[in-house]
Amino acid sequence: MRNHKKRDYLQEIDEAMSRTLTNDELPKISILIPTYNEEKVIETKLKDVAAMQYPHSKREVLLIDDCSTDDTVLIAKRAFRELNLHGKIVRNNERAGVNGCYNRGLQESTGDLIATTDADVMVDHDALLKSVKVLTTLRDVGGLFARMMPMSTAKTAAVNIEGSYRNLWDDMFVAESAIHSTFPGYTNFTLVRRSAFPTMPLDYGSSDGNISFAIIRMGLRYVCVPTILFYEPIAESLREQVRQKTRRAARIIQSARANKDMLLDRKYGAFGKVIFPLRLLLLISPVLSLLGCVALLVAVAYVSIYWVLAMPLFLLVAYTGNRLGLSKLSLLWSLVVHQCYLLVGLLLSTRKRGVWKPVQRSSIIETN
């Protein structure tokens, strides 16, 4: 994470964004938005898309509805008319999941570049233009994604866990991008060359993981651009966070497992030789942590049973630090909790599952 290439990479990104592109130089972009029961947020989302700083003649919006049972489609149709959005609403005949929605959107799209974004997130209004400048400057980059800004007004344990962990995770994304490529990224806002956007299995792997591996397999890079931001309302209850995190962990592990042949393959450069091996260790670290804890308990119990009884006090201190927002203790507790999420995700990764339901949220964020 502290490699010397990081500074050069960030400078390269800044130089790319400082370019001026004429209207003729701007490629056509297809923006894919998968939806399922998003009636509370879809109008705000489409207003956010309409406000993006990119010529309307050079973009199309494709909303792929996955059999919503509420008024998502009705509200979206009205918003398309009122906002004069170029594009269309596509409805699946049966539930296909996020991967299936992206497959359908790719078939229906006509853009040179494919952008993905979620119904419940807001994106910087200059994100499309900045992303195009990066892709047209860095020819070896096949796709990029924005940095996440978790948003919530609540002061719950779940919010503190997400905030402290997310900063560490995004710093890792940037460091890996400087070396070669990263995964899985975020489909909350991604821009990918059409030729590199994959057709995905319906019930296996995360969409962002599948996209990142497909790009790297083509000999291109997949990178995080930390100066482009999206804003996502996050789970405010631990119960909702557990559901969301364990499912996501399982799908990411599935994507990694499906591409295990890339491990240590020189053809994929530093990603195959360095980044992917370290990421696989990260994904199986809960098993190693569990074994380590058992070994530690046995060793401590051999010395004195009183030290074993004191270990829950250590976890209580870390939890209290998270509740009080103390940065180091909060990160420590967040790492412990995410190890548990990964462990459950590892157990669930043998199951195939394609559909999803919206994350419980208290609000949607509006950006300027």
pLDDT tens readout for residues 276-331: 999 888 887 777 777 877 787 788 777 776 666 666 766 666 556 555 555 556 67
Task: For 230, list phi and psi in degrees, rounded to 5.
Answer: -125, 155
pLDDT tens readout for residues 176-220: 999 999 999 999 999 999 999 999 999 899 999 999 999 999 999
Instruction: Specify the pLDDT at position 62.
Output: 98
Closest CA to 119 of 39, 33, 37: 33
Cis previous bond, 55, omega within 30: no
Q: What is the mean pLDDT of the chain?
A: 88
Closest CA to 218 of 240, 192, 236, 186: 192
Contact 261, 356 (CB under 8 A): no
Instruction: Specify the pLDDT at position 314.
Output: 65
d(CA 183, CA 211): 9
Closest CA to 367 of 53, 134, 154: 53
d(CA 368, CA 247): 32
**Residue 269: how many CB atoms within 10 A of its CB?**
16
Instruction: Specify the pLDDT at position 298.
Output: 80
Indicate the residue type of 49: V
SS (H, E, C) the chain: CCCCHHHHHHHHHHHHHCCCCCHHHCCCEEEEEEECCCCCCHHHHHHHHHCCCCCHHHEEEEEEECCCCCCHHHHHHHHHHHHCCCEEEEECCCCCHHHHHHHHHHHHCCCCEEEEECCCCEECCCHHHHHHHHHHHCCCEEEEEEEEEEECCCCCHHHHHHHHHHHHHHHHHHHHHHHCCCCCCCCCEEEEEHHHCCCCCCCCCCHHHHHHHHHHHCCCEEEEEEEEEEEEECCCCHHHHHHHHHHHHHHHHHHHHHCHHHCCCHHHHHHHHHHHHHHHHHHHHHHHHHHHHHHHHHHHHHHCHHHHHHHHHHHHHHHHHHHHCCHHHHHHHHHHHHHHHHHHHHHHCCCCCCCCCCCCCCCCCCCC
Instruction: Specify the pLDDT at position 368.
Output: 43
Closest CA to 119 of 87, 166, 72, 81: 72
Q: How many residues can be counted in the chain?
A: 368
Which tokens hold the place of 134? 């990066």
pLDDT tens readout for residues 214-231: 999 999 999 999 999 999
Which tokens hold the place of 122? 């807001």
* Beta-sheet pairing, 189-193 with 221-233: unpaired
pTM of the model: 0.87
Which domains occur in the chain, in start order?
A: 5-240 (3.90.550.10), 270-348 (no CATH)
pLDDT-based confidence at 359, cuts 50/70/90?
Answer: low
Instruction: Specify the pLDDT at position 236.
Output: 84
Contact 330, 316 (CB under 8 A): no
Instruction: Say whether pLDDT at 139 is over 70.
Output: yes
d(CA 298, CA 212): 41
Q: Which of 110-114, 140-144, 240-244, 290-294 has the lowest mean pLDDT?
A: 290-294
pLDDT tens readout for residues 23-47: 999 999 999 999 999 999 999 999 9
Contact 29, 113 (CB under 8 A): yes
Contact 206, 184 (CB under 8 A): yes
* Beta-sheet pairing, 189-193 with 141-151: antiparallel
d(CA 319, CA 333): 6
Which tokens hold the place of 3? 């490699």
pLDDT tens readout for residues 50-96: 999 999 999 999 999 999 999 999 999 999 999 999 999 999 999 99
Burial readout 187-206 (b: 16 or more C-beta within 10 A, e: otherwise): bbbbbbbbebbbebbbbbbb
